[in-house]
Structure 1
Amino acid sequence: MNKKVTAVFDIGKTNKKFFLFDKDFKEVHKEYISFDEIEDEDGHPTENLPALQSWLKNVFNRILKAEEFEVKAINFSTYGASLVHIDENGNPLTPLYNYTKPLPQQIVNSFFETYGPREDFLKTTGCSDLSMLNSGLQLYWLKKEHPEVYKKIKYSLHLPQYLSYIFTGIPLSEYTSIGCHTALWDYVKKDYHSWVYQEGFNKILPPIVSTETSVNMNYNGTRIKIGVGIHDSSAALLPYVRSIKKKFVLVSTGTWSIVFNPFTEQPIATEVDGNEAINYMRINGKPVKATRLFLGNEYKLQVKKLDEAFGVADDYHRHVKFDYDLYSKITDNFKHTFKWESIEAETMPLETIMNFENYQHAYHQLMTELVLLQIESIKKAIGSDAISGIYVDGGFSDNDVYIKLLAHHFRDKKLRTTDSSLGSALGAAIAISDAKLNSKFLKKNYALKKHVPFIVS
């Protein structure tokens, strides 16, 4: 008997993944692929959209023919800050511009001359700065710099919704893509910002629907429920929101460490300096206050220096366990000793002071200083909200020193770690399901672990 499954395409900047989940959200099939980037008209690297589109269709058509599976639903999770502009025939008019592409300064200046003052605008839209990372600015740039292309646009679709459009032919918008630092949304009015209407962009942005919306249709002879897609960060947050009763923040760690507060009473960031405060959106349009820290990137740079200084193997740092005596020694007469390369901090010295007895001593000092930055980032995300729990996932969730220091500093909150490489894909599957999740879901699917603070002697 064939297994009923939900299919999910989870599209990252590097890896493109395809999953099948059973009714209990257990992974029963997965495929990975990556494509070489192509260049846009300015020579800037960008996603190979034609190759991606071809792969999506080929994989899905093959799975539909597979005898062991019966696909009941499909959804899409992708990175944000990316728009696909289509003409009246549904064909893309431009490359999928990369959000790392530099935005001409005259465009930014022109924008604020018309829609400033800058600080008020950034607070209202939940953005920390304006660049191609704000998909609304990509539209503004296109209209000003390439008016002949802009005139041909029938619809501008966020990437998750474009992938859904490939299968349904129905152009739609949804909250999580609109709300991820796009500069399009006014978090005070809970509508597109007035500048969007003044520029006429509301005419080419498709109707907004809930992220839980799905289209029931006959696809290649099979009756399937097709989701409208979801932004990957909001997708990764969804299983937590659905299964945890008490208010919490999620610390999603990796190259960037992003702290999500989905229960904020004050969504608009007041700290617009330093580029660390941004807003996201839940699937129902409610705001998510977030702060970000270039934690994993800085960790990688500093650990490499420690490896070279002490002549240890590249993976030595993975095996360092928390040592209370070392930590106590460091904090008895605490001084900041590391100069960061990719993080701005007032507390750092002009140069790194390598005055350590051994690798363990240096590593504990490094982690103590990095965790102090993480604590500030978490506190900013929490603000004045009554948060009782902290969940940590991603690369640092199994770093013993990091977790013990966090548990120590937030002794008044319950600290939990989870382990799920499926994060955003699983969230996309849950978004279009009718399943009710309970508190045991994270334990069963995410290897949930409790952590208690160490005893201070």
Structure 2
Amino acid sequence: MTHPLIALIDIGKTNAKVSVIDPQTGTEIRGSRRANAVVQGPAMRELDVEAISRWLLDALRDAPHRDRIRTIVPVAHGAAAVLIDRDNRVVAAPDYEDACFERVNAEYGQQRDAYQSTYSPDLPLGLNLGRQLFFLQEAQPQLFSRVAHALLYPQFWAWRLSGVMASEVTSLGCHSDLWLPREQHFSKLAQARGWDKLFPPKKLASDVLGPISAEIAAATGLDPQCQVTSGIHDSNASYLKFLIARDREEPFTVISSGTWTVVMANRADLSRLREDKDMLASVDAFGSPVATARFMGGREYEAIAGTDVRPNMPALLNVIERQSMALPAFASGGPFAGREGRVINAESLSGSERASLATLYIALMSELLIEMLGADGAVLIDGPLATNPLFGSILGALLPERSIELSSGDGGNTRAACYLAGFHDAPPSPMTPATAASLKGLPAYREAWRKLLVS
């Protein structure tokens, strides 16, 4: 009998992907990708979950060896929930980047739990899920009165596939204002507003909710006994694959990249977290809090680079010599949220030089967040930054005493998907040591960049 395969559904803020994974080798057989979009709903901008649903069915139907897919693992971005009515229809799928949620900032701020309880910073737009719910409950009471269930984004996709509703802590604990990570229960805010009753029972990310529904089986041609797990928040999936490969008490640092660059420090002291620097306690797949800091690195890289040209070492050396600098912030969120990003000494930079400047900026920001967290141990880089030809070598030069490792192979959330699907002996994700670049002018450049941050 041929061995079973896994389908990983990864719904990011920018892109969505379906990957077919062989758990015996830990590799991706094939992936299907699409760019995501938002649509204007009656009350706010919304995630286009219906378009993603149609694409998802097509991607599963066209998946190679679909008859061998035995488990589906959903992964999705944070700060998102899809609201469902009593007839299982979508009421709203708020887009956290809509500025409408800030209309209730004053009222909402008076009701949030203290930062020391939730370790959830007061974020702009709708990046606190609680603010989204508060806005709808206060500003759109008729719409909100129809809400019977709130499904966190990974669990929405699990429900769409299986028909079973669940909640899970990695998304609940993603700067939502809804969760107390130390006590492991809903916040006072969530309970006082009655939101806790909208969330289905909590499950582990690895818990099987059930087989795919008959409708999904008919639409995709998948085996009707194909199982669907509860699913996990995307940055936590990246963190999980490193957590299961080492002692949980061992200090290490993960840089998970994509739309967001998220730095997660295992065993770091939560008392170092600062609300005004967009630092938070994430919650890992086992329910433990993890000191975390982040910024919108993917968006900021695009804003600085401007093109898809790859960075290279000669271009980087030119950027350092010219003292061309990018100063935050070029997107919402992060330790410098509210500042307007600017680029200096960058006139007539070539495409490769702008890409090298963007890479250098992301490396400097990442090093700063590692320092702020007091993060120890090896630095493990996952996602697009692991394939950037300069990022690892720049970070190695900035952190010469640390081991810098790049996730290679298929990378992404492949290993986490194998683990969550019950294949605990799947091969670990291959890692490649980064060689620190010899950048003579980097220390002086870094010092000048840091001075400009506080000027």
Q: CA deviation at 1:368?
A: 6.0
* 1:405 partner SS: helix
* 1:173 partner SS: coil
Contact 1:17/1:33, CA 8 A, preserved across alignment = yes
- Equivalence for 2:80: 82
Contact 2:316/2:353, CA 8 A, preserved across alignment = no
- Identity fraction in percent: 18
For 2:104, the aligned partner's letter is I
For 1:18, the aligned partner's letter is V
Contact 1:136/1:183, CA 8 A, preserved across alignment = yes
CA–CA separation in structure 2 for the residues paired with 1:122 and 1:201: 21
**Paired residue for 2:244, among 239, 242, 245?**
242
* 1:19 partner SS: strand
1:417-432 maps to which residues of 2 (within 5 A)? 417-419=406-408, 422-424=411-413, 426-432=415-421
CA–CA separation in structure 2 for the residues paired with 1:203 and 1:349: 41
1:279-428 maps to which residues of 2 (within 5 A)? 279-303=281-305, 318-321=311-314, 339-340=327-328, 342=330, 344=336, 352-353=344-345, 371-381=363-373, 383=374, 387-419=376-408, 422-424=411-413, 426-428=415-417
Contact 1:180/1:281, CA 8 A, preserved across alignment = yes
- Equivalence for 1:252: 256
So what's the TM-score if we normalise by structure 2? 0.79
Is residue 263 from structure 1 mapped to residue 272 from structure 2 by the alignment?
no
Q: CA deviation at 1:99?
A: 0.7
Q: CA deviation at 1:138?
A: 1.5
CA–CA separation in structure 1 for the residues paired with 2:83 and 2:310: 45
* 1:114 partner SS: coil
CA–CA separation in structure 1 for the residues paired with 2:69 and 2:231: 17
Is residue 99 from structure 1 mapped to residue 96 from structure 2 by the alignment?
yes
Contact 1:320/1:360, CA 8 A, preserved across alignment = no
Q: CA deviation at 1:362?
A: 9.4
Q: CA deviation at 1:456?
A: 9.5
CA–CA separation in structure 2 for the residues paired with 1:299 and 1:54: 30
Contact 1:186/1:193, CA 8 A, preserved across alignment = yes
**Paired residue for 1:153, among 147, 157, 162?**
147
- Equivalence for 2:33: 32
- Equivalence for 1:442: 429
Contact 1:127/1:279, CA 8 A, preserved across alignment = no
- Equivalence for 1:47: 47
CA–CA separation in structure 1 for the residues paired with 2:111 and 2:189: 9
Cα offsets for 1:366-398 (capped at 9, x unmatched): 8666644332111123x2x5x220112333334
CA–CA separation in structure 1 for the residues paired with 2:393 and 2:62: 47
CA–CA separation in structure 2 for the residues paired with 1:349 and 1:235: 30
Contact 1:303/1:317, CA 8 A, preserved across alignment = no
CA–CA separation in structure 1 for the residues paired with 2:350 and 2:53: 52
CA–CA separation in structure 2 for the residues paired with 1:360 and 1:60: 37
- Equivalence for 1:228: 230
For 2:366, the aligned partner's letter is Q
Structure showing greater radius of gyration is 1
Q: CA deviation at 1:341?
A: 5.8
For 1:258, the aligned partner's letter is V
So what's the TM-score if we normalise by structure 1? 0.79
- Equivalence for 1:112: 109
- Equivalence for 1:451: 434
For 2:105, the aligned partner's letter is V
Is residue 137 from structure 1 mapped to residue 131 from structure 2 by the alignment?
yes
Contact 2:99/2:125, CA 8 A, preserved across alignment = yes
- Equivalence for 2:217: none
Contact 1:84/1:157, CA 8 A, preserved across alignment = yes
Q: CA deviation at 1:293?
A: 3.2
Moved more, 419-428 or 102-111: 419-428
**Paired residue for 1:193, among 164, 187, 194?**
187
For 1:320, the aligned partner's letter is M
* 2:110 partner SS: helix
* 2:290 partner SS: strand
* 1:427 partner SS: helix
Cα offsets for 1:136-190 (capped at 9, x unmatched): 2212222112222323322111121111112332221011111111110112432
Task: Check 1:421–1:103 CA distance in 2 against 1; reply closer, same or farther (3 A cut).
Answer: farther
* 1:408 partner SS: helix
CA–CA separation in structure 1 for the residues paired with 2:78 and 2:366: 24
Q: CA deviation at 1:433?
A: 1.6
CA–CA separation in structure 1 for the residues paired with 2:288 and 2:87: 34
- Equivalence for 1:309: none
Is residue 10 from structure 1 mapped to residue 49 from structure 2 by the alignment?
no
For 1:226, the aligned partner's letter is V
Q: CA deviation at 1:213?
A: 0.7
CA–CA separation in structure 2 for the residues paired with 1:47 and 1:432: 27
For 1:259, the aligned partner's letter is V
For 1:53, the aligned partner's letter is S
Alignment size in residue pairs: 425
Q: CA deviation at 1:197?
A: 1.0
Q: CA deviation at 1:16?
A: 2.6
- Equivalence for 1:277: 279
- Equivalence for 1:205: 199
For 2:231, the aligned partner's letter is G
* 2:154 partner SS: helix
Contact 2:273/2:291, CA 8 A, preserved across alignment = no
For 1:23, the aligned partner's letter is P
Contact 1:322/1:404, CA 8 A, preserved across alignment = no
Q: CA deviation at 1:357?
A: 12
